[in-house]
Amino acid sequence: MKPNGSNPTTAGERSPKRGVPEGLWMRCPQCKATIFRKEAESKLGVCPEPGCTYHFQLRASQRIAHLLDENSFEEWFTDLLPCDPLEFNDRLPYAKRLEAERQKTTLNDAAVVGRGFIRAWPVVLGVTDFAFMAGSMGSVVGEKLARAAEEATRLRLPLIFVSGSGGGARMQEGILSLMQMAKVSAALARYDKAGGLYISVLTNPTMGGVAASFALQGDITLAEPGALIGFAGKRTIWNTVRLELPEGFQTSEFLLEHGFVDRIVHRKDLRLVLAQIIHYCRQD
């Protein structure tokens, strides 16, 4: 028997500290509030603080689940795998970097494409995922998007690309990566000639060769609030040409004001807006 009031643990032992489980809370980059992660997730990854509309990045699977009818997505071209044609090596060999990204994201590369339904309207959907090498566009990403455009042409279906590519064209693949800009653009041109409807959705961030090619070629271009959209970043422009650009010049709001974006759409409304556009422009 232990004396009354004694600590039930063995002498010298200490009770483990009860800390806050990791990952329960997150900080909003816009309003700086500390928010409950599950509350943000329940609002489709939008900051729940009053007056703040910061849109956190979503994974490709989350985008698909949010936009498409339940269990309607049929993924295409899952067997395409990136290779290392230049045997590129920086801090980590490119082949090892690819393997690490596959383990981290469970994706083979930064794009997911396929067919699904939005409020019963059939569409071809492509999504780039920032989690895989910042959503950068290498040979596989370009090939998947080009094939998606070709399938949309063949099936006479509306085409939607959701871009979240902060990495632009992937430097580890050199000119082979840059070629994807022209390849996807050519596939979109053929789709346009066939009378297709291409809706481009820009999310944070959409930069570099992605912004300079397919992301800003939509028949209708939508953007999420506060998204960073452009070619080179502000620091790169300053270091290159010593030009000081206005505050917020690469936000979706600035691009809307200057005619590069047709409409800014809150994430909670995006599925409905896409369905309305498809209904209005429906192809017979």
Condensed to tens digits (0 to 9), the pLDDT of residues 75-128 reads 999 999 999 999 999 889 999 999 999 999 999 999 999 999 999 999 999 999
* pLDDT score at 237: 81
- The superfamily in CATH containing domain 57-280 is 2-enoyl-CoA Hydratase; Chain A, domain 1 (3.90.226.10)
pLDDT band at 245 (very low <50, low <70, confident <90, very high): confident
Burial of 195 (0-12, 13-18, 19+ CB in 10 A): exposed
β partners of residue 116: 123
Cβ contacts of 273 within 8 Å, gap of 6 or more = 222, 263, 265
Q: 29 preceded by cis ω (within 30°)?
A: no
How far apart, in whole angstroms, are the C-alpha atoms of residue 177 and residue 169?
Answer: 6
Percentage of residues in the chain having pLDDT higher than 90: 79
Alpha helices in 83-241 (DSSP H): 94-105, 139-155, 174-193, 208-211, 234-241
Whether residue 176 contacts residue 183, with contact meaning beta carbons closer than 8 Å, is answered with: no
Helix or strand run (H / E) with residue 255: helix 252-257
What are residue 113's phi and psi, to 5 degrees? Answer: -135, 155
How far apart, in whole angstroms, are the C-alpha atoms of residue 196 and residue 189?
Answer: 10
Instruction: Tell me the average pLDDT across 273-280.
Output: 96
Q: Would you say the pTM of this structure is higher than 0.75?
A: yes
Residue ranges of domains in the chain: 23-56, 57-280
